[in-house]
Structure 1
Amino acid sequence: MAAAVAYLTQAMADLARQLAFAPVPAARKHVANALALVGEIDPDQSYPMGFVAFRITGFRVDRGLDDLVPGASIRTDLCTFVLEVSRRAPIMPDRSTGEVVTIAELAERWSVSERTLRRWRRFGLALEWFERDGAEPVLGVRESIASGVQVHQARIVARAGKFRRLAPAERRKVIEAVAREVPRTASLAQAQRSVAAAHGITAEAVRLIWQASGASAGRATRPDGWFARCAARGIPLPSIAQAAGLSTAHTSRRIVADRAARLAQTLPHVPALPTFVHAEASSVLLGAPWLGHGLVHRAPHDAAAACGTTHEANGRDFTALAALRFLLWRARAGVVGPTRPGTVDRAQVDVRWAAMLLRTLVSWHTPGVLQRLAAMMEAPVMQLPADPLRKAVELAQSCIVHAAFQIDLSTVAPHRLRIDRVAQLAFEQQLVRQPNLHAPGRAPAMHPQPVVLGDAVLRACPWIEAVAPGCGQHAGAQLLGGTAFELLAAVHGWRGDRPRSIEEMAADHGATRSAMHVRVAEAADAARRAWRASLAVH
């Protein structure tokens, strides 16, 4: 999802907020009307907002003394409105839309970056989200709109793509100049700026020429995700930068990019309920006090703990499941498309919270699902031998996870939702294929040693590992105790409370966001070193 964009006029922002609750068919009609109006607006004239509201909604509103707004601002805001509304109501390309080109294809055609195309809303380039069969919505533009912008803004489009028309000999000179400048400067970006000034072209042009050449700045390449994995282990930022041969600023950006890419690759595509796009969705869906306390943050260690006392959900299944789906949907929306450090941090907090809610649901319903197996065996489940017992518990947990993502919340009444019943049906179907697990008359088995379980939830949901702390960080934090453990426990939810963001912790401790980020990073590094020291002792 594209990063949130601001409107130039307050009146247009108010109109967009009023239409935020419109159903999908009405939202698509608003987009079509706004697109039609974009082509009619003269940027050199002024228009009353009542006229704009009527053209979008079809309703006349008595606004009293209606201020005139410059056409250039209205055209930009209309394109912003199309981008924002089409995100929650994408349309399938058809005859009414004509040919559609994706933003990546248009950027390549015009030899500009996607960021440049997003800035060209002021020229009437209305980017729009389109549906695709069996895939995520894609950001693109109607061919008719792109052709119109290219005709009316031919000079600007041509100038923006000028660097592509450099002669091959000139491109080689630019590449060679960058290679000579890199050893003399502090960073690759500084070398590219110096070469751009010397050759009379933009730094962006030099960067893309260098990138297209496949040249290397003499630094060791790192595999995908390397920066994020190092940061998750608690390795300090300067150490990561030194190992990669990059500046700390560049390394910080690479960490953010790696985190966003891993989340975007692993997070499931959760269909959005109509309520997810409302402005109050967060306060409503996440407002129940029990959603932030008494949660399960890690898998049970042994079968006895997993098969313990049955928890009474007390009709909380729908609330927990809706919150889980909303958190995953919001996190995915934050890492698809252009990302910023704060956006990725918030997405990670949402994913950690969603993982705890899922583990809590599994903890609630595992004993109830296993009752089906006990009825077939005509004996308690704990009488199974160690290996069948382990398989049965992990199978029950997998069925609960599967049920949590298969239930259609839009077709079930909140008070009638029972995840355990859906999981029990799937569990029975799996047991039919494994008759050795429920053969009656089996001699009861004794378990002098705990039957250690694997993490069935983690195996079914790889996105949980994307936000998990580095190896040994929890153990190291427990060895340290004190402030280090308190900070890391708040970030990861180790005490059963919902994970806290850096902004929330900074407000609680009366510190700035950057200072709190440093304190958390230092605590993670101390926990890593404490864990490694304990391994050396043993």
Structure 2
Amino acid sequence: MPRLPPLRIAALEDLADQLRFAPRRTLRRQIDRIEKLAAEIDPASNYPEDWVVFRVTGFRAERDNPAVIVGAALLADLSALAEHLSSAARLGPDDVEAGALNVTDLCDRWKITRRTLERYRRAGLVARRIRLDPRRVQLVFSHRAVENFEQRQRPRLDAAAKFRRITPQERHAIIEEAREMHRVAGWSLHAAARRLARRHGRAVETMRQLLLRHDRAALAAGQPPIFDARPALDVQQRRAVLAAHLKGIPIDRIARRHARTRASIHRIINERRAELLRRALAPVGADSDPADARRAPRPDALLEPMAVRSTLGAPPILDLYAFVEAAGAAQPPDAEAETARALAFRALCADARSRTASLSRSNPSASELDRIETSLRWATLLKRELVRGESRLILRSIEDWTARPILSLAPELAARLITAGFDAVAAAVDRFDPSSPGRLAAPASLALSRMLASTPGLRDEIESGLRGAARRRTSARPAIEDWTLRLSPWQTWLDMPPLVRLGMDRLPAPRRAPIAARFGHHTWGGPPLTIAELRAEFGITSQQWHALYMQAVALGRRDAADR
């Protein structure tokens, strides 16, 4: 028997678990409610989870802090919820109303493939799961569910019905046309794909993949390919392409270095960015899921408070004595600002994870990558403020555990313990759930206690440090390691590069502002901006932004050489 589809929204998963033992009549009534609800959901709107539960069950539960579910995510889970309830009700063929269609019948009606039908189910087409016998199940679609979907998605269904696959004859003609384009005009694979796409009314990527498959098959059969038989760039070369791009090296130079077209280099850069995002976001919330992807991604209301949009990203205090003085005089963080920042941090991470999961594997969208990366830059700035707010707690925890003032320790040991304290609080932020009662200080205190107790040989090091501290005191100012550079795994390629930071200071103020805004630098005074938002704010195009970025890199390189 096929497994039930997973439910990605926590509220619906909990609801399905609670309703497992409800009477069959109640479950059937709730499946009817799900079908009706699916016809009313706007993918671009947000819906409180208690409202969704009420629409399914008819029972309104009072919740202090209900999560907000984005419409698109809700539509994607409604059919899965109906399947879970159908399975719990053990629906059979006799429970199906007249006029219901199975998968084959509905594909024939709409002239689509089963894969397309599966995409429609994630767009709000609700299916019921019936048992044909103890080992076989079947999906069926009620007449009302089909008609509701047809009314809402008529243009999409009409376009799908007109779609036709490339026939073998058409494929042969395309291959021959591409061969002639390359032989006569020397066109590259991408240029030929663009021309063929216009000529045959297909997507450029469809043509490109068709030509690539042909050439790979030709090489495997020992025949000459149409286009240059250059091997694909290996992992090291792909890393080098992105590294060169982040250093501000022009795309033309990178393309010449690797004997690729500009379009190929852009595609490799975007694929590498998507790969890094998937890898970086995979461990986020592995233990307690601080950015639970099952919750609604990025409800905009959580990003509106002033604490979320201003006073972000101030430089850390890394001088030991200055830090001890500032932390000792610091007040506990404001509860309202802490909650707002923690909720926004979770929402931005959830948004980034959800969007990353939807990225194309072969040709990820540059604008979508930009939006994801901007969300993560913003999330890091919020996490920095949450961690910084616990500076006083870090200082007191170390002094309580060592039973002495921190400045009585060897300076190197004191600086190392403070750095480890910031790391422990950063991990606590990942586990902190602001929707539950309590403040960040609780998990942060626990994380600090565990860090201090698990550091091997710390007691002996403290004692030996005390005996030799007086002899080792010098006029040098001991420094704390910059903890802001390792708060999140994506910082290695999303933070402002050091050369850009140096070069930005040498630019005039009007040209410095877009760079500060792009990375959310503290001189900007607001959250980081996407390329599209830079255009709206400063009137600069994507090309002008990259030219400005490369100018900052060049100035930074010159400044570094002068030092």
Q: TM-score, normalised by structure 1?
A: 0.64
One-letter code aligned to 2:410? P
Task: Render the CA deviation track for 1:57-111: whole Å, top value 9, x for unaligned.
Answer: 698xxxxxxxxxxxxxxxxxxxx9887533599669979579xxxxxxxxxxxxx
Q: 1:431 to 1:245 in 2, by over 3 A?
A: closer
Structure 2: 5+ residue runs without aligned partners?
1-8, 18-26, 37-54, 59-69, 89-111, 125-136, 147-156, 220-226
For the pair 1:407 / 2:432, whether they are aligned, the reply is yes
Task: Tell me if the contact between 2:349 and 2:375 (Cα under 8 Å) persists in the aligned partners.
Answer: yes
Corresponding residue of 1:379: 404
For the pair 1:314 / 2:339, whether they are aligned, the reply is no
2:522 to 492, 495, 499: 495
Corresponding residue of 1:424: 448
Deviation, structure 1 residue 239: 3.8
Corresponding residue of 1:7: none
Cα distance in structure 1, aligned partners of 2:405 and 2:452? 16
1:230 to 244, 267, 281: 244
Counterpart mapping for 1:430-509 below 5 A: 430-431=454-455, 434-439=458-463, 442=467, 443-444=469-470, 446-456=473-483, 458-459=485-486, 461-495=488-522, 497=525, 498-509=527-538
Deviation, structure 1 residue 427: 3.1
Cα distance in structure 2, aligned partners of 1:197 and 1:275? 40
Deviation, structure 1 residue 289: 0.8
Counterpart mapping for 1:177-216 below 5 A: 181-182=181-182, 184-192=185-193, 207-212=208-213, 214=216
For the pair 1:85 / 2:75, whether they are aligned, the reply is yes
Q: Please give the secondary structure, in 2, of the residue aligned with 1:480.
A: coil
2:116 to 117, 120, 128: 120
Q: 1:388 to 1:354 in 2, by over 3 A?
A: same
For the pair 1:277 / 2:296, whether they are aligned, the reply is yes
Q: Please give the secondary structure, in 2, of the residue aligned with 1:462.
A: coil
Q: Please give the secondary structure, in 1, of the residue aligned with 2:541.
A: helix
**Percent of matched pairs sharing the same residue:** 18
Q: 1:231 to 1:317 in 2, by over 3 A?
A: same
How many residues of Structure 1 are paired with residues of Structure 2 in the alignment? Answer: 438
Cα distance in structure 2, aligned partners of 1:307 and 1:91? 54
Cα distance in structure 2, aligned partners of 1:524 and 1:361? 29
Cα distance in structure 2, aligned partners of 1:435 and 1:195? 72
Cα distance in structure 2, aligned partners of 1:305 and 1:179? 70
Cα distance in structure 2, aligned partners of 1:465 and 1:191? 37
Corresponding residue of 1:139: none
Deviation, structure 1 residue 308: 4.2
Cα distance in structure 2, aligned partners of 1:260 and 1:117? 28
Deviation, structure 1 residue 421: 2.5
Task: Tell me if the contact between 1:83 and 1:126 (Cα under 8 Å) persists in the aligned partners.
Answer: no
Deviation, structure 1 residue 182: 4.1
Task: Render the CA deviation track for 1:257-290: whole Å, top value 9, x for unaligned.
Answer: 33233122102244556995288x322x222212
Corresponding residue of 1:134: none
Cα distance in structure 2, aligned partners of 1:181 and 1:420? 64
Task: Render the CA deviation track for 1:398-438: whole Å, top value 9, x for unaligned.
Answer: 11011111234443246x86454233333332347522344
Task: Tell me if the contact between 2:312 and 2:385 (Cα under 8 Å) persists in the aligned partners.
Answer: yes
Q: 1:534 to 1:458 in 2, by over 3 A?
A: closer
One-letter code aligned to 1:333? S
528-537 or 517-526, larger mean C-alpha shift: 528-537
Cα distance in structure 2, aligned partners of 1:306 and 1:90? 53
Task: Render the CA deviation track for 1:118-161: whole Å, top value 9, x for unaligned.
Answer: 9935x9852489xxxxxxxxxxxx98579xx9xxx9xx99x966
Task: Tell me if the contact between 2:193 and 2:204 (Cα under 8 Å) persists in the aligned partners.
Answer: yes
Q: Please give the secondary structure, in 1, of the residue aligned with 2:506.
A: helix
Task: Tell me if the contact between 2:394 and 2:448 (Cα under 8 Å) persists in the aligned partners.
Answer: yes
Q: 1:24 to 1:482 in 2, by over 3 A?
A: same
Deviation, structure 1 residue 292: 2.2
One-letter code aligned to 1:480? L
Deviation, structure 1 residue 320: 2.0
Counterpart mapping for 1:356-395 below 5 A: 356-395=381-420
Task: Tell me if the contact between 2:393 and 2:441 (Cα under 8 Å) persists in the aligned partners.
Answer: no
Deviation, structure 1 residue 246: 4.5
Deviation, structure 1 residue 487: 1.7
Cα distance in structure 2, aligned partners of 1:463 and 1:88? 33
Task: Render the CA deviation track for 1:458-512: whole Å, top value 9, x for unaligned.
Answer: 4463222231233411112113343332221111122253223333333333x2x
Deviation, structure 1 residue 396: 0.6
Cα distance in structure 2, aligned partners of 1:348 and 1:308? 36
Task: Tell me if the contact between 1:362 and 1:401 (Cα under 8 Å) persists in the aligned partners.
Answer: yes
Q: 1:90 to 1:438 in 2, by over 3 A?
A: farther
Q: Please give the secondary structure, in 2, of the residue aligned with 1:323.
A: helix
One-letter code aligned to 2:507? L
Structure 1: 5+ residue runs without aligned partners?
1-19, 38-55, 60-79, 99-115, 130-141
For the pair 1:521 / 2:546, whether they are aligned, the reply is yes
Counterpart mapping for 1:241-390 below 5 A: 241-267=255-281, 268-269=284-285, 270-271=289-290, 277=296, 281-283=299-301, 285-296=302-313, 300-310=317-327, 311-312=330-331, 313-315=333-335, 316-338=337-359, 339-390=364-415
Q: 1:391 to 1:278 in 2, by over 3 A?
A: closer
Q: Please give the secondary structure, in 2, of the residue aligned with 1:234.
A: coil
Q: Please give the secondary structure, in 1, of the residue aligned with 2:463.
A: coil
Task: Tell me if the contact between 2:79 and 2:121 (Cα under 8 Å) persists in the aligned partners.
Answer: no
Deviation, structure 1 residue 204: 6.4
One-letter code aligned to 1:277? A
Q: 1:199 to 1:480 in 2, by over 3 A?
A: closer
Cα distance in structure 2, aligned partners of 1:220 and 1:91? 46
One-letter code aligned to 1:327? L
Counterpart mapping for 1:126-145 below 5 A: 126-127=121-122, 144=139
One-letter code aligned to 2:548? A
Q: Please give the secondary structure, in 2, of the residue aligned with 1:224.
A: helix
Q: Please give the secondary structure, in 2, of the residue aligned with 1:359.
A: helix
Task: Tell me if the contact between 2:174 and 2:196 (Cα under 8 Å) persists in the aligned partners.
Answer: yes
Q: TM-score, normalised by structure 2?
A: 0.62
